Amino acid sequence: MKDIIIFFETIPSSWRAAFLIGGLALFWSLESIVPLIKFSYHKWKHAGINIFFTLTTVLINLAFASLLYLSSQWAVNHSFGIVQWLQLPLWAEAILGLLLLDLIGAYLIHYLEHRVRWMWRFHIIHHSDPYVDTTTANRHHPIESVFRATFTILAVLIAGTPMWLVMLYQSLSVLFSQFNHANIRLPKKVDKWLSYLIVSPNMHKVHHHYRLPLTDTNYGNIFSIWDRLFGTYAFCPPQKLHYGIDTHPKEEEHSRILRLLSIPFEAYRSASPPETPEKREEKAKA
C-alpha cells in the first residue's frame, strides 16, 4: 500500500499520459477484435473529432490542476472532510475516498447535467455521438469539462482526500470511462456480473440510447452502486439500442467540430428523432 501511495504522490506527467494513451490504444485494438457492433463508419475520422475534445479536456484539467492540488492540501492540513474526520485504516480510507470522489465527481455532476437544462446543452455534445466507442469517453464540450473539474474539486474538499488518492482516482476514472464506452463484446454473464460492482460496457451503452427514458439512466463512471442505490439503473439489450441524440440527428450536427462547439449557444429545439434503419425500411416499403 505504501508503494502505491508513493507512486501516486509523485506520479509524473508521462505516466498520466500513458494511462490516457495506453487505455485508448488497448480498447481501440479490442474493438477491432471483439466488436459489440460492427459500425459502418470511417473510424479514424470519427476518432479525430473525439480526440480533439479529449485534448480540450486535458487542457481544462491542466488549468485546474493547481487548484485541485491546493484543495487537497488544505483539506489534509486542516483535517477537513469525511476521510479526515473518520480516521480509518489506510485501506478503508482508500476505498471510501474512491467511492466519494466517484459519487460527487462523476455520478452527481453527470446527473445534474441531465437535470439542469443549461448544463444539458453542453452535455449534448457527448450524447450526439452516433458511434459510441472508446474515443467517445472524453467527447466533452470544453465548458462541460469545466463543470466536471469544478465538481472534482468539490468532491476532494467534501471527502478530504490526500493528493495520492486524487491521482489514483483520476487514473482509474480515465481507464474506466474508456472501458465502459468501448465498443467491445464481453460474454453476457461476465458483463452482467461486472455490472453489480462497476460500470460495464453493456450497462453504460444504455445511457447512450438516443431518446428518453433510457438517456436519463446509468450515470455512473467507475462504481455501478450509485445507479442501483438511487434508482437510476436500467438495462436494455445492446442490439435494441440506437446511439445519438434525438434533438440533433443530422450528420452535420454530430460530425463537425465547429458545429459541436456552437450547439450549446443555439436556441433549444424539441426532439426530432433520427432516421433509424427501421424507419428507412418502412419508407422503402411505402
Of the candidate ranges 8-12, 48-52, 69-73, 267-271, the one whose mean pLDDT is the lowest: 267-271
Return the C-alpha cell found at 153. Answer: 474539486
Lookup: cell for 190: 461476465
Half-sphere exposure of 196 (CA within 13 A, CB side): 5
User: How big, in percent rounded to 5, are the helix, strand and coil portions of the chain?
Assistant: 70, 0, 30
Q: Is the dihedral of CA 138, 142, 143, 146 positive or negative?
A: positive
| Residue, of 284 and 235, whose pLDDT is higher | 235
Residue 268: per-residue pLDDT? 60
Q: What is the pTM of this model?
A: 0.89
- Residue range 146-182, pLDDT digits in tens: 999 999 999 999 999 999 999 999 999 999 999 999 9
198 forms beta bridges with: 223
Prior bond to 273 cis, omega within 30? no
* pLDDT, the chain, mean: 90
Burial status of residue 112 (CB atoms within 10 A of its CB: 0-12, 13-18, 19 or more): middle
DSSP state of 41: S
Work out the number of other CB atoms within 10 angstroms of the CB of residue 108. Answer: 17
Give the integer Cα–Cα distance in Å for 118 and 114.
9
Coil, strand or helix: which one is 209? Answer: strand
Direct distance between the N- and C-terminal alpha carbons of the chain, in angstroms, rounded to an integer: 66
Give the residue-averaged pLDDT of 184-199. 96
Cβ atoms of 36 and 204 closer than 8 Å: no
